[in-house]
Amino acid sequence: MKPAPFAYARPADWPAALALLGSGARPVAGGQSIGPMLNLRMAQPGLVADLRHLPEFGGIAVQGGTCRIGAGTTHAAIEDGAVPGRLGAILAGVARRIAYRPVRNRGTIGGSLAHADPAADWVAVLPAFPGHAVALGPAGERRIPLAGFVTGIFETALRPEEVLRAIELPLLPPETRWGHWKFCRKPGEFSKATACLLAIPGQAPRAVLAALDGPPLPIPDATALLAAPEAEADRLLATLPGLEPWRAALARTALRRAAGMAAAGMPTA
Protein backbone atom coordinates (compact mmCIF):
# COMPACT_ATOMS: atom_id res chain seq x y z
CA MET A 1 0.00 0.00 0.00
CA LYS A 2 1.16 3.53 -0.71
CA PRO A 3 0.39 6.78 1.14
CA ALA A 4 -2.61 8.89 0.37
CA PRO A 5 -1.59 12.10 -1.45
CA PHE A 6 -0.06 14.78 0.77
CA ALA A 7 1.86 18.04 0.38
CA TYR A 8 5.46 18.42 1.58
CA ALA A 9 7.03 21.50 3.18
CA ARG A 10 10.56 22.15 4.43
CA PRO A 11 10.49 25.17 6.74
CA ALA A 12 13.70 27.21 6.86
CA ASP A 13 13.36 28.38 10.46
CA TRP A 14 11.40 27.74 13.64
CA PRO A 15 8.76 30.48 13.16
CA ALA A 16 7.95 29.00 9.75
CA ALA A 17 7.77 25.52 11.25
CA LEU A 18 5.40 26.66 14.00
CA ALA A 19 3.21 28.42 11.43
CA LEU A 20 2.95 25.19 9.43
CA LEU A 21 2.11 23.16 12.54
CA GLY A 22 -0.49 25.75 13.51
CA SER A 23 -2.14 25.22 10.14
CA GLY A 24 -2.41 21.48 10.76
CA ALA A 25 0.82 20.12 9.24
CA ARG A 26 2.18 16.82 10.59
CA PRO A 27 5.82 17.16 11.75
CA VAL A 28 8.39 14.61 10.61
CA ALA A 29 12.06 14.16 11.54
CA GLY A 30 13.60 10.72 10.97
CA GLY A 31 10.38 9.29 9.56
CA GLN A 32 10.81 5.85 11.13
CA SER A 33 7.33 5.94 12.68
CA ILE A 34 5.36 8.24 10.41
CA GLY A 35 6.69 6.56 7.25
CA PRO A 36 5.08 3.15 7.89
CA MET A 37 1.93 4.86 9.17
CA LEU A 38 1.67 6.80 5.91
CA ASN A 39 2.23 3.68 3.83
CA LEU A 40 -0.47 1.80 5.73
CA ARG A 41 -2.74 4.85 5.56
CA MET A 42 -3.05 4.85 9.34
CA ALA A 43 -2.05 8.51 9.06
CA GLN A 44 -3.34 10.67 6.19
CA PRO A 45 -2.14 14.25 6.78
CA GLY A 46 -2.74 16.82 4.10
CA LEU A 47 0.67 18.41 4.74
CA VAL A 48 3.92 17.06 6.15
CA ALA A 49 6.50 19.49 7.58
CA ASP A 50 10.09 18.19 7.42
CA LEU A 51 11.95 19.51 10.48
CA ARG A 52 15.33 17.84 9.87
CA HIS A 53 17.13 20.92 8.60
CA LEU A 54 16.01 23.42 11.24
CA PRO A 55 18.77 25.21 13.20
CA GLU A 56 19.91 23.29 16.31
CA PHE A 57 17.25 20.61 15.79
CA GLY A 58 20.00 18.01 15.98
CA GLY A 59 23.24 18.00 17.93
CA ILE A 60 24.54 18.25 21.47
CA ALA A 61 25.26 21.35 23.56
CA VAL A 62 26.69 21.31 27.08
CA GLN A 63 26.32 24.33 29.32
CA GLY A 64 27.23 24.18 32.98
CA GLY A 65 25.93 20.88 34.31
CA THR A 66 23.26 20.40 31.64
CA CYS A 67 23.42 18.52 28.36
CA ARG A 68 20.92 19.71 25.75
CA ILE A 69 20.17 17.08 23.10
CA GLY A 70 18.42 18.39 20.02
CA ALA A 71 15.21 16.50 19.32
CA GLY A 72 16.50 15.68 15.84
CA THR A 73 19.63 13.93 17.13
CA THR A 74 19.72 10.40 15.74
CA HIS A 75 19.96 7.24 17.79
CA ALA A 76 23.16 6.46 15.87
CA ALA A 77 24.81 9.72 16.92
CA ILE A 78 24.06 8.94 20.57
CA GLU A 79 25.26 5.36 20.10
CA ASP A 80 28.52 6.67 18.62
CA GLY A 81 29.31 8.86 21.63
CA ALA A 82 27.92 12.31 20.81
CA VAL A 83 26.85 12.75 24.46
CA PRO A 84 29.84 13.11 26.81
CA GLY A 85 30.81 11.39 30.04
CA ARG A 86 28.84 8.98 32.18
CA LEU A 87 25.55 10.27 30.80
CA GLY A 88 26.76 9.51 27.30
CA ALA A 89 27.83 5.98 28.22
CA ILE A 90 24.38 5.23 29.64
CA LEU A 91 22.51 6.71 26.68
CA ALA A 92 24.80 4.96 24.19
CA GLY A 93 23.99 1.65 25.85
CA VAL A 94 20.29 2.31 25.32
CA ALA A 95 20.68 3.58 21.76
CA ARG A 96 22.69 0.64 20.46
CA ARG A 97 19.83 -1.73 21.29
CA ILE A 98 17.19 0.21 19.37
CA ALA A 99 16.02 -1.78 16.33
CA TYR A 100 18.78 -2.02 13.69
CA ARG A 101 21.56 0.33 12.59
CA PRO A 102 19.71 1.56 9.45
CA VAL A 103 16.81 2.57 11.71
CA ARG A 104 19.19 4.21 14.18
CA ASN A 105 20.81 6.18 11.35
CA ARG A 106 17.51 7.92 10.66
CA GLY A 107 15.39 7.69 13.80
CA THR A 108 15.63 10.53 16.32
CA ILE A 109 15.42 10.73 20.10
CA GLY A 110 12.80 13.46 19.93
CA GLY A 111 10.71 11.70 17.32
CA SER A 112 10.66 8.55 19.42
CA LEU A 113 9.70 10.42 22.59
CA ALA A 114 7.04 12.59 20.94
CA HIS A 115 5.50 9.62 19.11
CA ALA A 116 4.99 8.05 22.58
CA ASP A 117 4.77 4.42 21.56
CA PRO A 118 4.60 2.69 24.97
CA ALA A 119 7.19 0.09 23.91
CA ALA A 120 9.73 2.58 22.52
CA ASP A 121 13.15 2.68 24.18
CA TRP A 122 13.42 6.41 24.93
CA VAL A 123 9.85 6.48 26.23
CA ALA A 124 10.82 3.72 28.66
CA VAL A 125 14.14 5.23 29.78
CA LEU A 126 14.04 9.03 29.81
CA PRO A 127 11.45 9.33 32.62
CA ALA A 128 14.12 7.92 34.96
CA PHE A 129 16.26 11.03 34.49
CA PRO A 130 15.76 14.28 36.41
CA GLY A 131 15.54 16.26 33.18
CA HIS A 132 13.09 18.06 30.93
CA ALA A 133 11.56 17.90 27.49
CA VAL A 134 11.80 21.34 25.88
CA ALA A 135 8.66 22.22 23.94
CA LEU A 136 8.59 25.15 21.54
CA GLY A 137 5.40 27.03 20.81
CA PRO A 138 4.25 30.52 19.82
CA ALA A 139 5.03 31.78 23.35
CA GLY A 140 8.57 30.37 23.32
CA GLU A 141 10.11 27.40 25.08
CA ARG A 142 8.39 25.44 27.83
CA ARG A 143 10.09 22.80 29.97
CA ILE A 144 8.17 19.67 30.88
CA PRO A 145 9.56 17.17 33.42
CA LEU A 146 10.43 13.96 31.60
CA ALA A 147 8.65 11.86 34.23
CA GLY A 148 5.34 13.42 33.14
CA PHE A 149 5.91 13.96 29.43
CA VAL A 150 4.25 10.79 28.12
CA THR A 151 0.67 10.79 29.41
CA GLY A 152 -0.83 7.81 27.58
CA ILE A 153 -0.56 5.56 24.55
CA PHE A 154 0.65 7.88 21.76
CA GLU A 155 -0.20 10.84 24.01
CA THR A 156 2.13 13.48 25.46
CA ALA A 157 2.00 16.73 27.39
CA LEU A 158 2.73 18.70 24.21
CA ARG A 159 0.09 21.26 23.33
CA PRO A 160 -1.40 21.21 19.81
CA GLU A 161 0.64 24.24 18.76
CA GLU A 162 3.94 22.95 20.20
CA VAL A 163 6.78 20.83 18.87
CA LEU A 164 9.45 18.99 20.85
CA ARG A 165 12.68 20.91 20.32
CA ALA A 166 15.16 19.31 22.73
CA ILE A 167 15.77 17.13 25.77
CA GLU A 168 17.79 18.53 28.66
CA LEU A 169 19.55 16.11 31.02
CA PRO A 170 21.99 16.68 33.87
CA LEU A 171 25.54 15.53 33.42
CA LEU A 172 26.16 12.57 35.71
CA PRO A 173 29.05 11.85 38.06
CA PRO A 174 31.23 8.84 37.17
CA GLU A 175 29.92 6.91 40.18
CA THR A 176 26.34 6.91 38.84
CA ARG A 177 24.94 3.38 38.75
CA TRP A 178 22.58 2.17 36.06
CA GLY A 179 20.53 -0.91 35.28
CA HIS A 180 18.45 -1.46 32.14
CA TRP A 181 16.72 -4.64 30.98
CA LYS A 182 14.17 -5.24 28.26
CA PHE A 183 12.62 -8.34 26.74
CA CYS A 184 12.28 -8.71 22.98
CA ARG A 185 11.22 -11.92 21.26
CA LYS A 186 13.90 -11.31 18.64
CA PRO A 187 16.61 -8.66 18.03
CA GLY A 188 15.24 -5.37 16.77
CA GLU A 189 11.68 -5.97 17.92
CA PHE A 190 9.76 -3.69 20.25
CA SER A 191 10.04 -4.63 23.91
CA LYS A 192 7.35 -6.58 25.77
CA ALA A 193 8.62 -5.30 29.14
CA THR A 194 11.32 -2.78 30.04
CA ALA A 195 12.69 -1.52 33.34
CA CYS A 196 15.57 0.76 34.23
CA LEU A 197 17.04 2.15 37.43
CA LEU A 198 19.26 5.21 37.81
CA ALA A 199 21.17 5.77 41.05
CA ILE A 200 22.90 9.16 41.22
CA PRO A 201 25.10 9.63 44.32
CA GLY A 202 23.37 11.78 46.92
CA GLN A 203 19.92 11.38 45.37
CA ALA A 204 17.11 8.89 45.75
CA PRO A 205 17.40 6.25 43.02
CA ARG A 206 14.83 6.58 40.24
CA ALA A 207 13.30 3.78 38.18
CA VAL A 208 10.81 3.22 35.36
CA LEU A 209 8.68 0.23 34.36
CA ALA A 210 7.43 0.45 30.79
CA ALA A 211 6.37 -1.30 27.57
CA LEU A 212 3.18 -2.64 29.16
CA ASP A 213 0.65 -1.19 26.69
CA GLY A 214 0.26 2.00 28.69
CA PRO A 215 2.28 5.06 29.70
CA PRO A 216 5.55 4.42 31.54
CA LEU A 217 5.37 4.04 35.30
CA PRO A 218 8.00 6.34 36.85
CA ILE A 219 9.20 5.33 40.32
CA PRO A 220 10.60 8.56 41.83
CA ASP A 221 12.14 6.77 44.82
CA ALA A 222 13.36 3.27 44.01
CA THR A 223 15.22 2.73 47.28
CA ALA A 224 12.97 -0.21 48.18
CA LEU A 225 13.50 -1.75 44.74
CA LEU A 226 17.26 -1.70 45.25
CA ALA A 227 17.00 -3.07 48.77
CA ALA A 228 14.43 -5.84 48.15
CA PRO A 229 13.83 -6.34 44.41
CA GLU A 230 11.52 -9.36 44.74
CA ALA A 231 9.15 -7.87 47.29
CA GLU A 232 9.08 -4.40 45.76
CA ALA A 233 8.50 -5.76 42.26
CA ASP A 234 5.48 -7.67 43.60
CA ARG A 235 4.17 -4.54 45.31
CA LEU A 236 4.55 -2.41 42.17
CA LEU A 237 2.83 -4.97 39.98
CA ALA A 238 -0.08 -5.08 42.41
CA THR A 239 -0.74 -1.45 41.41
CA LEU A 240 -1.16 -2.54 37.77
CA PRO A 241 -4.23 -4.79 37.74
CA GLY A 242 -5.27 -6.44 34.52
CA LEU A 243 -1.85 -7.51 33.28
CA GLU A 244 -1.89 -10.93 31.70
CA PRO A 245 0.17 -13.44 33.71
CA TRP A 246 2.92 -13.70 31.08
CA ARG A 247 3.22 -9.91 30.90
CA ALA A 248 3.34 -9.60 34.68
CA ALA A 249 6.08 -12.25 34.82
CA LEU A 250 8.16 -10.32 32.28
CA ALA A 251 7.62 -7.04 34.13
CA ARG A 252 8.66 -8.65 37.42
CA THR A 253 11.82 -10.02 35.79
CA ALA A 254 12.59 -6.63 34.21
CA LEU A 255 12.37 -4.85 37.55
CA ARG A 256 14.48 -7.45 39.35
CA ARG A 257 17.19 -7.50 36.70
CA ALA A 258 17.41 -3.72 36.34
CA ALA A 259 17.73 -3.40 40.11
CA GLY A 260 20.35 -6.15 40.23
CA MET A 261 22.44 -4.48 37.51
CA ALA A 262 22.33 -1.12 39.27
CA ALA A 263 23.17 -2.70 42.63
CA ALA A 264 26.19 -4.38 41.07
CA GLY A 265 27.36 -1.09 39.65
CA MET A 266 27.10 -2.21 36.04
CA PRO A 267 27.82 0.74 33.69
CA THR A 268 25.32 -0.20 30.97
CA ALA A 269 23.00 -3.04 30.06
- The pLDDT of residue 1 is 65
- The pLDDT of residue 187 is 81
- The pLDDT of residue 209 is 98
- The pLDDT of residue 268 is 47
- The pLDDT of residue 255 is 98
Q: Domains, the chain, ranges and CATH? A: 7-50 (3.30.43), 60-170 (3.30.465.10), 177-263 (3.30.390.50)
- The pLDDT of residue 266 is 58
What is the value of pTM for the model shown?
Answer: 0.93
- The pLDDT of residue 190 is 87
- The pLDDT of residue 43 is 81
- The pLDDT of residue 111 is 94
Q: Which residues of the chain have pLDDT under 50?
A: 268-269
10 Å CB burial of residue 142 (0-12, 13-18, 19+) is: middle
- The pLDDT of residue 17 is 95
Nearest to 207 by CA among 229, 190, 192: 229
- The pLDDT of residue 36 is 77
- The pLDDT of residue 3 is 80
- The pLDDT of residue 220 is 97
- The pLDDT of residue 269 is 41
